[in-house]
A = this chain, B = another copy of it.
Amino acid sequence: MEWEAIESRLNALLENGRHGELRGAMRMLNVVDIAQYMENLDKDKLLLVFRILPKDISADVFSYMAPEQRQTLIESIGDQEIRALMEDMFLDDAVDFLEEMPANVVKRVLQNTTPETRNLINQFLRYPEYSAGSIMTIEFLEFHAGDTVKMAMDTIRRVGLDKETIYTLYIIDSARKLIGTLALRKMILAHEDAVLSDMMQRNPISVYTTDDQEIVADTVRRYDLLAIPVVDKEERLVGIITADDVMDVIEEENTEDFEKMAALTPSEDEYLKTSPFRLALNRIPWLLIMAAVAIFTGMIIKGFEDVLATSIVLTSCIPMLMNTGGNCGSQASTLIIRGIALGEIEFKDWFRALWKEFRVGLMVGVVLFLFTFLLVTLIYGASFTEALVVALALYATVLIAKGLGCTLPLLAKKIGFDPALMASPFITTLVDATSLTIYFMIATTILKIAV
């Protein structure tokens, strides 16, 4: 059934007050889809539908709702309902939720949680933003090395297993240090008297609570994991991060790179939900910096007034020269930035990359040389000398742009800056100045000889 059809059927049930049927219909849907359905409801209907929701999935649906709807709901429901909701939510989802709420809402919610949950939440809120600690969940299964399969299975049957726990048993020693992992699939095939330590995988791959989420994503991706344990600085197991959360981290990190590479201050908010004022603020600083640099670049033109006065063709070619130089630079820098992000290129590869870009530049340059020489002659009716100046300047620009494009991201990484900042806008601005200088130097030299 199409989404529109589902939505209108749910709406019909809601409007006709057939709440029992609506509850039944929602049972057939995925919680993600229910949350999406609720996105378009007004405040009263939202509250009504939330109360109609089967109790066992309402915390799950709440976890997938947008921040605005969650705030509306929390402000409408009673303390009793808040308490039930908070106890049913996974701790990591509860923390995510609170991080987006205004202080007064956070206060009211925390007043309605058990002291134990409140302590845990407060501890989570203290982890640095984007750290492994801030995205982990504490719903995992831990066992001791000496436990038998039977003991472990009894524990599992007693506490149950849920979506977050996944299927890995984490094995700790008496100091709570993580010493091994065991896949549930291996355990259920084993004899019930077998001891966990004999089957477990030692030296498990883990991350620290303070590690950046980017390290988490890289590690999980490298080792094809479905969950990764998180330890504190004493190597004690404190949480796990599951693959579904890692996918979100990967997309977040990519969005951040896309934004930085377009000279935007990164923002976590969805575009359509961000105010024009906020968007403008995220864009203005970089625009001002680059406009200032470009104005200084313009000084180069001013300095070569005499040369330009002799030939309008030279002035006409400025856009082509600047544009192509910028494009060549950002082609190289994008590949390098991406290579760094995926862990394929490091600073030690700089010379290899530069040598590669030099050869690419030679080939690209020849093609562009011939192409512009021809086009400038045909379209602008440029003289041989003019066409030669333009084509030569372009060749030099291509080589320099490729060199800067591969060097700057690696250099930025080396000195601790984000390589993504060395993308198109910055490279273009820098290449502009360089290419214009070369252009006028070549023009002055060749035109002097020609005259």
* Contact present for B367 and A288 (CB under 8 Å): yes
CA distance A259 to B298 in the complex (A): 30
Contact A30 B323, beta carbon cutoff 8 Å: no
- Would B295 and A320 count as touching, CB distance under 8 A? yes
A12 on the B face (CB < 8 A): no
As a 0/1 sequence over residues 331 to 344 of chain A, the CB contacts with chain B under 8 angstroms (1 = contact) are 10111111100101
Please classify the interface of chain A as helix (H, G, I), strand (E, B), loop, or mixed, using the class held by over half of its residues.
helix
- How does the 8 Å CB contact mask read for A315-330 relative to B, with 1 for contact and 0 for none? 1111110111011101
Asked if A45 is at the interface (CB within 8 A of a chain B CB), the reply is: no
Which positions 291-305 of chain A face chain B at CB distance < 8 Å? Answer: 291-292, 294-299, 301-302, 305
Known: A30-B205, A298-B319, A335-B271. A324 touches B290 (CB 8 A): yes
Interface membership of A268, Cβ < 8 A: no
Inter-chain contacts of A166 with B (CB < 8 A): 167, 226
Tell me the complex Cα distance, A359–B274, Å. Answer: 12
Q: How many copies of this kind of chain does the complex include? A: 2
| Contact between A432 and B298, CB atoms less than 8 A apart | no
- Interface residue total, chain A, C-beta cutoff 8 A: 118
Residue A247 lies at the interface, judged by CB distance under 8 Å to chain B: yes
List the B residue with the shortest CB-CB distance to A364.
B280
Contacts of A367 on B, CB cut-off 8 Å? 280, 284, 287-288
With both chains docked as a complex, state the minimum distance between the C-beta of A275 and any C-beta of chain B, in angstroms.
Answer: 9
What are 22 contact pairs spanning A and B, CB under 8 A? A32-B222, A184-B185, A188-B188, A221-B247, A221-B248, A224-B244, A246-B247, A247-B247, A270-B339, A270-B344, A271-B345, A271-B353, A279-B335, A280-B364, A280-B367, A287-B324, A291-B323, A291-B324, A295-B375, A298-B316, A323-B428, A326-B326
With A258-B258, A271-B344 already in contact, 18 other A-B pairs whose C-beta atoms are closer than 8 Å: A157-B188, A165-B185, A167-B167, A221-B248, A221-B251, A246-B247, A250-B251, A255-B338, A264-B331, A264-B335, A271-B345, A283-B360, A284-B364, A294-B323, A295-B317, A295-B380, A299-B379, A309-B309
